Amino acid sequence: MSRDFLLEIGTEEIPAGWLQGTSTQLANKICELLSKEGISHDKPNIFYTPRRIAVLIKNVAIQQEDKSIEITGPPKEVAFDKNGNLTKAGIGFAKAHKVLPSELKVKKKGKQEVIYYQKLQKGKETSEILESALQDIISQIEFPKSMRWESSGFRFARPIRWIVALLDKTVIPFEIAGVKSGNKSQGLRFTLPITIKSANSYEEVLGESGIVANADKRLNLIMENIRKLIKGKDLTPEYGNLLDEVTNLVESPRAILGKFDKKYLKLPKEVIIAAMETHQRYFALARETGKLAPYFIVVANTKDGDIDKIREGHERVLRARLADAEFYYKEDMKIPLKKRLPELKEVVWQEGLGTLYDKTQRLIELSKYIAQGYIPNADLSVLEKAAQLSKVDLLTNMIKDGKEFTKLEGLYGSILAEKQGLDSKVVIAMKERVGIPDIETSPEGVALAIADRIDTIAGAFILGKTPTGSKDPLGVRRVGNELTSIIIKNHIYIPLKKLIKESVSMYRRQQFLEKI
């Protein structure tokens, strides 16, 4: 016989990027337990929304299989006398295990013979095994960060608010962080609890309350809603890398079409998209020509909300962000990038490693070293100008003051350079320094991209801020992966050890090694 097992952990909102990994960990740990205990089961079904992670495993055996085990006793020469009769040791072993002398057998174990008997061990019930193990399983789940919120000191990604644990219709009782398991789940906030009457009805019952627990179904529902909203309107969604994140930010998705003033289309496309994506998680919409349209999509987390009021609220928020962007952009365009260069001396790049001006000088020198030695056809004049301006946008209003626009660092500098009429080759190299497009196409861009990352890696190790298992304060792993990708994709043959030594020598020439 078999039953279906459900475990749902209800929490405060867990970060979108943690949900899949957390749910997978939970499923794997439960399946490992069942397999270790000899309990047959099907593959797990994983569910997650911002406020829940859940695992449904079907056809779980109701108990372990009975198995025959051998209980060994003393050596044969100790258990039997010369006439083959049981000694006191042999009789004591039989009495201790409540077996008849006739049930004792002899087998070879290692270099000697011992007495033993075979015992039928009845399998434990699955419910008993789960009850004793679930608390430990939940406590073993790992997160990038965890928190305490109640007196027991239990740690989890976010505070646990409810637990559903069912073997078919039977509750598996246990308690963790002051929360007792049961059959009551929760829907959207401020709605009544949801009773899960049986494990296999989980997804259906949540769906009746508007909760789409399956992430793939939620994503498909979002895309289908968006397709309906833009049908016949010459609009195409700019999903970028946002779709998966939005899917994991809602559990009852409803796509809504909003609009904004056409005047903001005069802003660079990248700036408009950043205003929508960074904090608000809106999808931009483009025409068939590729130009942005004055519309956006927001995916609300609601089943029966007032759509007009929701739309108006989001339009108001976006209007304010675009107004800020317009102000920053107009102010930034008043000052040529070259005139900002002296300001680099006033901004510390890393404590102990000088200013942005110091870093810029290293980039100029290092990128030229790379180009001359390993990248043919690079224009050193173009490379020097691109390296010189590569960090200037960190001084602009858009990057310095507009928190939602900081991800445009590097790209925004190339946008201003293009708008201010700089050489197109310089613009391309500046853009490719940050990895846009994914693969560099100009020799100057390749040289500058490599130099920037080598300088950052060398600086981190000079400061002793090297990555460990749990910490990477300067993002060295990410930078290292980017460096490797750039070199491989562009088929650059370059001795990294020699390059790192050159980078370190530049820090030494600037006397930073002596100061540390």
Position of tokens 């992430």? 215
* Residue 107 in this model has a pLDDT that exceeds 80: yes
Position of tokens 């309107």? 233
* Residue 372 in this model has a pLDDT that exceeds 90: yes
Name which residue leads in pLDDT, 490 or 471.
490
Domains (ranges, CATH) in the chain?
2-64+125-208 (3.30.70.260), 67-121 (no CATH), 215-333 (no CATH), 337-515 (1.10.3210)
User: Which of 159, 192, 195 has the alpha carbon at shortest distance from 177?
Assistant: 159
Phi, psi (5° rounding) for residue 454? -65, -40
Position of tokens 């270790």? 36
| Confidence band, pLDDT 50/70/90 cuts, at residue 99 | confident
* Residue 516 in this model has a pLDDT that exceeds 70: no
With 0-12 / 13-18 / 19 or more C-beta atoms within 10 angstroms meaning exposed / middle / buried, residue 203 is middle
| Confidence band, pLDDT 50/70/90 cuts, at residue 515 | low
CA-angle at 332, arms to 327 and 338, nearest 5°? 180
pLDDT of residue 474: 79
Q: Which two tokens stand for residue 26?
A: 């939970």
Q: Which two tokens stand for residue 208?
A: 């009746």
| Confidence band, pLDDT 50/70/90 cuts, at residue 63 | confident
How many whole angstroms separate alpha carbon 297 and alpha carbon 238? 10
**Among 194-198, 329-333, 482-486, the least confident range:** 482-486
0.85 cut: is pTM over it?
no
pLDDT digits (tens, 9 = 90+) for 231-281: 999 999 999 889 999 999 999 999 999 999 999 999 999 999 999 998 899
pLDDT digits (tens, 9 = 90+) for 436-473: 766 667 999 999 999 999 999 999 999 888 887 667 87
At position 157, the amino acid (one-letter code) is: A
Is the separation of the CB atoms in 193 and 184 below 8 Å? yes
* Residue 101 in this model has a pLDDT that exceeds 80: yes
User: Which of 8, 3, 43 has the alpha carbon at shortest distance from 126?
Assistant: 3
Name which residue leads in pLDDT, 212 or 67.
212
